[in-house]
A and B are shown apart, each in its own frame.
Chain A
Amino acid sequence: MTDQTVTFRVRRHQPGQEDAWQEYPVAVHPGMTVLDGLQQIKEQQDSSLAWRHSCRMGICGSCGMVINGQPGLACNTQVLDISDRRISLEPLSNFPVARDLVPDLEPMFDKHRSIKPFLIAGQQDGDEPLRQSPRQLTDYLQFSYCIKCGACMAACPTLASDADFLGPMPLTAAHRYNRDSRDDGFDQRKQSLGDHHSISHCHYAAECSKVCPKGVDPAKAIQYLKRDLVLDLVGLRRRPGPVPQGSPGTPRDDIPKAPEFTVKKP
């Protein structure tokens, strides 16, 4: 494997100071991710560089940053896929920055909480099985893939000019629970979706769907949510299809029995 040098251009931020671009030459080999590159900088060049990271497999959502002008995950992006000369790294836009590549995501978490992102149902307790058909599952499954990395929020042009806009991630979460066949919370959730910093402010730039690393497609969720709200207004909104009736399964005959107990109970 041959290494080649790629320049990492990083937007540094220290509290109370002006931002500064800083450049680091990084020896890159095929298969190396942006996250690996940052790690190399930290270990060999500048231990003060700060960013979030954890799972390194694109599922924890920690390492969201703007890579060559596009929000994405550092762990998920291979350096040589995007450039063999230089790449630029910035903290997620539309968020305050704590330090270097560490954005303050609290505003997103707060907005997420405000749309009641949980199942609102009559019966929350109990251990009797519930039923849901694969079709009912598909109705919302895609929108539950969200890893809360903030890439969509950073890409959203409405959020850029209206910091109070709920944004793609919370709106998608609202739709995800609205469309769950086990949920009865539509009426409660629509209260928080009504004001003008909310869903009516999305004009389908679809940037969120373009940058989402997990295929969640927030733009799609938001348009469905709009349709549901309109249909609800004229009394035509339908609940997700009927709950399937389970059939008694056929017992399997290839399952062994547990061996007899060999310890005598006192």
Chain B
Amino acid sequence: MAVSEKTMRPSGILRWLGGGRRGLEGYLYVIHRISGLALLMFLMMHVFFTGVRLLGEEAWSGLMEMANNPVLHFLEYLVYVAFAFHAVNGLRLIIIELAFGIGPPDEPVYPYKGSIHKQRPLMLIAMVIVGILIFAGGFDLVAMGH
């Protein structure tokens, strides 16, 4: 017989993740938007911290001293990762949004294979490039030690 328990529906941005199972492109969409937000926040912080120079030479070098630690280097690396993803995936989106790589309109034949399948190679290439960039950046971080 019926069993019941109380529950809530996720709302807003939570539904990006809680809205059900997504496809690869769906997760890329979520990462793209989150990385975009992250980059925007970084940019604002960057402008703010750069503005510290206005307070004089001393304040600036103090800040630089403080910034020179592994945690912040790692955070910087994350900014780089977000940038690499957002830039390359953004280029991919620009290509698709002008309707390249998704094929001409056609009579769909069941089982339906849509534009996602047609443009998937492009997506894979973009992700390989992102991977290479992230790896290269990580190598730089570890090997060069700064």
Chain A–chain B contact at Cβ < 8 A: yes
CB distance from B9 to the nearest CB of A (A): 6
Q: Is the CB of A161 within 8 A of B15?
A: yes
CA distance A141 to B104 in the complex (A): 12
Q: Is the CB of B114 within 8 A of A224?
A: no
Most A-side CB within 10 Å, residue of B7, B103, B105: B105
| Binary per-residue interface labels of chain A (12-37) against chain B in the complex, 1 for a CB within 8 Å, 0 otherwise | 10000011111110000000000000
Of chain B, the residue at the smallest CB distance from A134 is B107
In the assembled complex, which residues on chain B have CB atoms less than 8 Å from the CB atom of A154?
A: 19
Most B-side CB within 10 Å, residue of A66, A145, A161, A217: A217
Q: Is the CB of A145 within 8 A of B16?
A: no
Q: Is the CB of A45 within 8 A of B22?
A: no
In the assembled complex, which residues on chain B have CB atoms less than 8 Å from the CB atom of A93?
A: 9, 15, 19-20
Of chain B, the residue at the smallest CB distance from A41 is B2
| A69/B107 contact (C-beta < 8 A), A19-B9, A204-B25 known | no
Q: Is the CB of A69 within 8 A of B21?
A: yes
A212, CB-defined interface residue at 8 Å: yes
Of chain B, the residue at the smallest CB distance from A208 is B114
In the assembled complex, which residues on chain A have CB atoms less than 8 Å from the CB atom of B108?
A: 142, 145, 214-217
| A209/B32 contact (C-beta < 8 A), A18-B8, A19-B8, A70-B20 known | no
Q: Is the CB of B105 within 8 A of A209?
A: no
The majority secondary structure among interface residues of chain A is mixed
CA distance A21 to B2 in the complex (A): 10
| A21/B4 contact (C-beta < 8 A), A205-B22, A205-B25, A206-B116 known | yes
CA distance A139 to B99 in the complex (A): 14
B13, CB-defined interface residue at 8 Å: yes
| Binary per-residue interface labels of chain A (213-233) against chain B in the complex, 1 for a CB within 8 Å, 0 otherwise | 011110110011011001000
CA distance A220 to B28 in the complex (A): 17
| Interface residue total, chain B, C-beta cutoff 8 A | 41
- Within 86-118 of B, Cβ neighbours of A (below 8 Å) are at 93, 96-99, 102-103, 105-108, 110, 112, 114-116
B144, CB-defined interface residue at 8 Å: no
B5, CB-defined interface residue at 8 Å: yes
| A223/B106 contact (C-beta < 8 A), A45-B1, A203-B29 known | no
Of chain A, the residue at the smallest CB distance from B20 is A69
A210, CB-defined interface residue at 8 Å: yes
CB distance from A87 to the nearest CB of B (A): 13
A94, CB-defined interface residue at 8 Å: yes
In the assembled complex, which residues on chain A have CB atoms less than 8 Å from the CB atom of B66?
A: none
| A11/B16 contact (C-beta < 8 A), A205-B22, A226-B97 known | no
A138, CB-defined interface residue at 8 Å: yes
Can you name 27 A-B residue pairings with CB atoms under 8 Å? A21-B5, A21-B6, A23-B2, A69-B21, A71-B20, A93-B19, A94-B15, A138-B105, A141-B107, A143-B105, A145-B108, A155-B26, A160-B16, A161-B12, A161-B15, A203-B93, A204-B97, A205-B23, A206-B23, A207-B29, A215-B110, A217-B112, A219-B114, A220-B103, A224-B99, A227-B99, A230-B98
* B-to-A contact residues, CB < 8 Å: 1-9, 12-13, 15-16, 19-23, 25-26, 28-30, 32-33, 93, 96-99, 102-103, 105-108, 110, 112, 114-116
